[in-house]
């Protein structure tokens, strides 16, 4: 999509059986996923905070492409698949 994330948005990625889900295909029930909260948007960098990754709350910096869309979508959760 062409949506540019803003502070307060959730950035999510599926895990395990849900790893390849796209937004338009999200189920209405439960599915394995991890979400981070957008806390800052710069010209080329998105800053997010998430919890429950390796028993910690972490801050991550994700690259943005020229129109402030996420450049990489599959790096938010680096732990084992569930």
- Three-state DSSP at 22 gives coil
pLDDT category of residue 1 using cuts at 50, 70 and 90 = low
CB 14 within 8 A of CB 21: yes
CB 64 within 8 A of CB 71: yes
Other Cβ atoms closer than 10 A to 56 = 8
The pLDDT, as a whole number, for residue 72 is 56
Q: What is the tens place of the pLDDT at every residue in 24-57?
A: 787 888 888 888 999 999 888 889 999 877 788 9
Q: How far apart are CA 69 and CA 5, in angstroms?
A: 7
The pLDDT, as a whole number, for residue 73 is 52
DSSP state of 44: S
Residue with tokens 């990625």: 13
Task: Please indicate, yes or no, whether the overall pTM of this predicted structure exceeds 0.75.
Answer: no
pLDDT of 74 above 60: no
CB 69 within 8 A of CB 63: no
The percentage of residues in the chain with a pLDDT greater than 70, rounded to a whole number, is 83
């Amino acid at each position: 999509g062409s949506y540019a994330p803003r502070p307060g948005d959730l950035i999510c990625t599926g895990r395990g059986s849900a790893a390849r889900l796209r937004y338009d295909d999200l189920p209405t029930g439960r599915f394995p996923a991890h979400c981070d909260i957008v806390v800052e948007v710069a010209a080329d960098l998105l800053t997010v905070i998430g919890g429950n990754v390796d028993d910690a709350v972490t801050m991550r910096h994700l690259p943005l492409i020229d129109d402030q869309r996420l450049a990489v979508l599959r790096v938010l959760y680096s732990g084992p698949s569930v």
